[in-house]
Amino acid sequence: MQALVRILGVDPGSRFTGWGVIESDGMECRYVDSGCIALARGKPMAERLAQIFTELGDIARNERIDEAAIETVFMNKNAQSALKLGQARGAALCALIMAGVSEPAEYSPRRVKQAVCGYGAAGKDQVSAMVARLLDHDGEFTEDEADGLALGICHAHHRRMAQAAKLALSQEEEAVS
Amino acid sequence: MQALVRILGVDPGSRFTGWGVIESDGMECRYVDSGCIALARGKPMAERLAQIFTELGDIARNERIDEAAIETVFMNKNAQSALKLGQARGAALCALIMAGVSEPAEYSPRRVKQAVCGYGAAGKDQVSAMVARLLDHDGEFTEDEADGLALGICHAHHRRMAQAAKLALSQEEEAVS
């Protein structure tokens, strides 16, 4: 049994940045908090990026997170939207590092769906439903919240696999020596 | 005669972020400082973005700047490089806002060249040479430094034009009333 780990999952976007915090004991995930940073429309872009930076930094500090995961970018986009998304991502990554997260993990949307739903082509509704089920949560999550939480679950899953592999390796080494 | 204004020009990039600080009295520009933030290769991307954020924020605070200008993006790039550039830009814009710059100005490369060289299709060498001449600077600037300084000069130029237009308008109104 591992110590409890608090994981923040972030899905940055140029209009909405979804986030979710879960706690994992290495076996199960527990819901802690989630939400969506909605960028003020009509404000200059630099101010909107600073909003992501400030709010996400506050969340990371207030929720006392240990690790964080962020979504990699699906690259079938045009250069203009890739630039906008890049700016939001830059603000989010700066916020995480400045809040003390040493190395945010990155997962592709496909891998997140695989971890949460069991297959990488799952739809948005399926992700939301599975996130609520895995976290034993009654209410409904918004799409953005669910994406943030799914990233957290994916990271917990990845940590579990990595530790199981490490354990297996050390047992093998012990058996050999 | 205007009060002295300190302007920071920033040209963010995924590998090098050039910057330059100038001082303008509304007529002439004076060189203050310039440099280039070279991102540590081999480090995780999030850490490199935090490096832009931290170093640019320190520069903005230490140089006691009043205003800042940043380059808009030339969009004839593929989505992958637009994303990388967007991330660097997001980190730079967050740094400026968090350092107290209320609204960084944005200028296209074409407009910067126009302001510094008199025509928008000027080459890199011409920009460097004209920046050194306008700032009455003996040594040579690196390309990145020159880009940062050119942005500062462009912004000073823009302020001067805007104030001249405002003055002309108020004089007209006075003559009419």
* pLDDT tens readout for residues A64-90: 999 999 998 876 668 888 889 999 999
**Phi–psi pair at A62, nearest 5 degrees:** -65, -35
Mean pLDDT confidence for A109-131: 92
Rounded to whole angstroms, the Cα distance separating B20 from B34 reads 4
Calculate the alpha carbon distances from A169 to A1, A25, A155, A172, A176 in Å.
18, 21, 21, 5, 11
Q: How far is B136 from chain A (nearest CA, A)?
A: 32
- Is the CB of residue B153 less than 8 Å from the CB of residue B25? no
A83:B93 CB<8 A: no
Task: Report the residue of chain A nearest B73, measured CA to CA.
Answer: A83
Q: What is the predicted pLDDT for the residue at A97?
A: 94
The dihedral sign for the CA sequence B113, B94, A15, A24: positive
Q: Does an H or E element contain B82, and which?
A: helix B79-98
Contact A45 B93 (CB under 8 A): yes
Task: Residue A45: list chain B partners with CB under 8 A.
Answer: 93
Return the pLDDT at B52.
Answer: 95
Number of H helices, E strands in chain B: 5, 5
**In a 10 Å sphere around its CB, with 0-12 CB exposed, 13-18 middle and 19+ buried, how is residue A13 labelled?**
buried
Determine contact: A83 vs chain B, CB below 8 A: yes
Nearest 5°: CA angle at A21, between A29 and A85?
A: 125
**What is the domain range of residue A105?**
5-176
Q: What is the pLDDT of residue B108?
A: 93
DSSP output for B3-42: PPEEEEEEE--SSEEEEEEEEE-SS-EEEEEEEEEEPPTT
Residues 6+ apart with CB under 8 A from A23: A4, A5, A6, A7, A29, A30, A32
| Contact flag A88-B85 (C-beta cutoff 8 Å) | no
Mean pLDDT of chain A: 90
Residue A50, pLDDT > 60, answer: yes
Of A140, A74, A157, A75, residue with least CA distance to A127: A140
Which CATH number belongs to the domain containing residue A31 in this structure?
A: 3.30.420.10
Asked if B86 and A90 come within 8 Å (Cβ–Cβ), the reply is yes
- pLDDT for the residue numbered A166: 80
For residue A35, count other CB atoms closer than 10 A to its CB: 17
Structural domains of chain B, count: 1
Amino acid B2: pLDDT? 64
Disruptive mutation site among A8, A39, A70, A83 for chain B (greatest number of B CBs within 10 Å):
A83
Would you please indicate which residues of B are annotated as catalytic (active-site) residues? 11, 71, 144
Q: What is the pLDDT of residue A128?
A: 93
Is residue B32 pLDDT above 60, yes or no?
yes
- Structure-model confidence comparison of residues A73 and B177, the more confident one: A73
Token pair of A43 as six digits: 């404000």
